[in-house]
Amino acid sequence: LGALDLGKWVQVYAESHGYGGNTYVVNALIDMYAKCGTVENALYVFVNMSTKDLISWNTVINGLAIHGRGADALSLFEQMKRAGVKPDGITFIGVLCACTHMGMVADGFSHFQSMIDDYSLVPRMEHYGCMVDLLARAGLLVQAVEFVNKMPVKADAVIWATLLGACRLHKNVDLAEVALHQLNELEPGNPTNYVTLSNIYKDVGKWKDVARLKAAMKDTGRRKLPGCSLIEVNDDIVQFYSLDERHPDSDEIYEALDGLIKLSRSSGYESDLTSFEQ
């Protein structure tokens, strides 16, 4: 829910009732702060822990990595090893995620191999997914597909969806069509995949293919569900849908968003905001 204020209250309650030194409780607090996006709070709680276990290290490393603090995540990983704590598969998900966000392809492969050679860990689908994401974000789409083809397990829908999303970023139509073909076998009729490929066709001006794909989407009989977000405002949890106008303050919300878009563009930032502007 991202109910940060409630989470802070739980921390105060736990500390005032003698649970401030309970490793399980403190680990949950680190996880809560990280998932609420207040990484500094998560890091502060971690640093001040009296006793850190593997879950403590994993939670803070993954939290930092997910929120783009890759350098800090990798630094903590090195501290973890120096402290004599043996990393597990979850640790390496955070490490590989950190490498992905920093574009560190060579380091990512080094950590992936270390996981196997130094710690005798068998990579799981999540680790392979991280490696595909690492290559795809770096624009190495052909290498990413080659990596998928060499995997000892069959790639799942998440991996192919990762590739499809990267194809939009790098405007690679051919590989996007390959990814959609694979996705149709794994999750036939999922409209989200059609929408992504349709957006790629739009980006490169292939309007006939856009029309063809829209017809194919109709044949599935399914519609893409709008994106939904939750945010805590004035002690209440508010739910927002993509392009939603049902909120009583929607006019003020979109006016503020429009102002932020203009401000970002005046600073030289460009993004794909056509959906909002339409």
For residue range 82-116, what is the model confidence (pLDDT) as tens digits? Answer: 999 999 999 999 999 999 999 999 999 999 999 99
- Split at pLDDT 50, 70, 90, the class of 70 is very high
Contacts of 41 (CB under 8 A, 6+ apart): 33
- Split at pLDDT 50, 70, 90, the class of 44 is very high
pLDDT in the model for residue 274: 46
Averaged pLDDT score across all residues of the chain: 87
CATH number of the domain at 1-122, please? 1.25.40.10
Longest Cα separation, the chain: 66
Distance between CA atoms of residues 256 and 14, nearest Å: 38
Domain ranges across the chain = 1-122, 243-278
For residue range 170-229, what is the model confidence (pLDDT) as tens digits? Answer: 989 999 999 989 998 998 878 888 888 888 888 888 888 888 878 877 766 666 666 677
Residue 270: pLDDT over 70:
no
Q: Is 20 in a helix, a strand, or coil?
A: coil
**Nearest CA-CA partner of 155 in 109, 163, 169, 107:** 163
The secondary structure of 143-155 as a DSSP string is HHHHHHHH-SS--
